[in-house]
Amino acid sequence: MNIIVQKFGGTSVSTKERRKLAIDKILKTYDEGNKVVVVVSAMGRKGEPYATDSLRGLITDSNPKCNLKHLDLLMSCGETISSVVLSSELEELGYKSLPLTGFQAGITTNSNFSDARIISIDQSKIMNYLNENYIVIVTGFQGITESGEVTTLGRGGSDTTATALGAALGAKCVEIYTDVDGIMTADPNVVPKAKIIEEINYEEIFQMAEKGAKVIHPRAVEIAQYGNIPLKIKNTLSDHPGTTIHSHYKQLYSVSELRTTLLTAITHKDNIVQVTVYTEGKSDKESSLLSRLTECDISIDMINFFIDKKVFTIESKDLEALENILNDLTLNYIYLDGCSKVTIIGSRITGIPGVMATIVKALGSENIQIFQSSDSHLTISCLVAKEHAKKAVNILHKAFSLDDN
């Protein structure tokens, strides 16, 4: 049985005209002999009545500290509306279709309301309907706890639902439909010369998502990689082939297609704070600091630890909580707010001499100061002033010949 999971985002189901385009994609896949499971997001974006953020605002605008369990129940309504409407429109065309909530689809999660994790999927109900030639429409972004409470999966939750179902059902692939033609070498709103990436591996796309690219949620990529399910990022509004995400880098390019550039993409992430904490070699205070950071769920990045001081970055939203911890531990510190992290990504940069030199030379030519850097086998990140971030991305995009692809 060839099963294909197709996920349609909020803009793809926001109007009848958009849903018709989505239905064309669904029926083309179905009529080719595939079994189709469709995952839908809530209709539209903030400001539109059934969008997730609009529903959330019904409570949080007046009660920011509302009960998360109640909030999840409310927010799950958006995807439910989308699934019923889309299923009804398919039935009008003479196709067997039915909507399923996350609970009905067998998705069980933990009880971390508003950011739940899927712990199991009972795929039997979906499989029964697929065997009866139904097109199954599943609500994205939601599940249910073992005690019967509705949960939501956090940002990117519909992507997560789609890849998790793809893995559970042994799908041939998962297609993520959005309003762009695929994954690009940089944000096209920042770099006008950014190009579509035809194929990419899981590790690269995970790093892009982690480092600020709004393409697909990192959790969804992890699930797809674990299940070795190919992902395709496509446009509901066009027939562009999009971007395919595979498991192994060597599968991606034939000899004739081998890239001459080192990089796959460049991303940037704003609202970063660089923090320097003076621990003066006191291991007990260092240990206490790290424990408190963990307790408060504050993630640190670009970490450089020295005997007398610790230098790292956090997201701006965590600054107040971090200051409370540091003051409580009577630690001296300074911080630099208003930073951005610019990251180059590519499987081929490991062990290649001159990559950092190219970065320093390119940014230095425009007097862009690098406050800090960090690297992994796939990435090199540089911390710069936020006002220079977009310029830095454009400079590096050109310096590494991504403009020429």
User: Quick one: pLDDT at residue 369?
Assistant: 97
Distance of alpha carbon 313 from the chain centroid: 20
Element (H, E) at 85: helix 68-92
Answer yes or no: is pLDDT of 251 > 50: no
DSSP string, 376-395: -SSEEEEEEEGGGHHHHHHH
**pLDDT level of residue 212 (50, 70, 90 thresholds):** confident
**pLDDT level of residue 255 (50, 70, 90 thresholds):** very low
Token representation of residue 278: 């003076």
Answer yes or no: is pLDDT of 44 > 90: no
Q: Which residues define the annotated binding site? A: 7-10, 52, 79, 178-179, 214-215
Q: How many CB atoms lie within 10 A of CB 352?
A: 11
Nearest CA-CA partner of 122 in 175, 169, 174, 171: 169
CA 148 to CA 72: how far, in whole Å? 13
**pLDDT level of residue 332 (50, 70, 90 thresholds):** very high
**pLDDT level of residue 328 (50, 70, 90 thresholds):** very high
Q: Which residues define the annotated binding site for ATP? A: 7-10, 178-179, 214-215
pLDDT higher for 359 or 255?
A: 359
Element (H, E) at 364: helix 355-364
Q: HSE on the CB side for 67, CA within 13 Å?
A: 5
User: Which residues have CB under 8 Å from 373's CB, separation 6+?
Assistant: 302, 356, 380, 381, 382, 383
CA 222 to CA 311: how far, in whole Å? 29
- Over range 348-374, report the average pLDDT: 89
Asked if 8 and 177 count as a contact pair (C-beta separation under 8 A), the reply is yes
Q: What residue spans define the domains of the chain?
A: 3-256
**Number of residues written out for the chain:** 405
Q: Which amino acid would we find at residue 38?
A: V
Measured in degrees and rounded to the nearest 5, phi and psi for residue 163 equal -70, -35
Distance of alpha carbon 111 from the chain centroid: 21
Answer yes or no: is pLDDT of 235 > 90: yes
Answer yes or no: is pLDDT of 131 > 90: yes
User: Quick one: pLDDT at residue 333?
Assistant: 95
Q: Is the C-alpha dihedral spanning 345, 347, 348, 354 positive or negative?
A: positive
CA 179 to CA 215: how far, in whole Å? 11
CA 233 to CA 210: how far, in whole Å? 17
Distance of alpha carbon 14 from the chain centroid: 21
User: Quick one: pLDDT at residue 6?
Assistant: 98
User: What confidence tens digit (pLDDT) does each residue in 142-187 have?
Assistant: 999 999 999 999 988 999 999 999 999 999 999 999 888 999 999 9
User: Which residues have CB under 8 Å from 222's CB, separation 6+?
Assistant: 206
Q: Which of 105-109, 180-184, 209-213, 218-222 is the least confident region?
A: 209-213
Strand order in the sheet with 199-201: 97-100, 135-139, 35-40, 3-8, 173-178, 231-235, 243-246, 199-201
User: Quick one: pLDDT at residue 261?
Assistant: 57
Rg (CA), the chain: 23
Beta bridge partners of 52: none
Q: For 3-256, which CATH class?
A: alpha beta
CA 65 to CA 405: how far, in whole Å? 48
Q: Which residues define the annotated binding site for substrate? A: 52, 79
Answer yes or no: is pLDDT of 15 > 50: yes
**Residues 196/198/200/206 CA torsion (nearest 10 deg):** 40
Asked if 201 and 241 count as a contact pair (C-beta separation under 8 A), the reply is no
Q: How many CB atoms lie within 10 A of CB 51?
A: 20
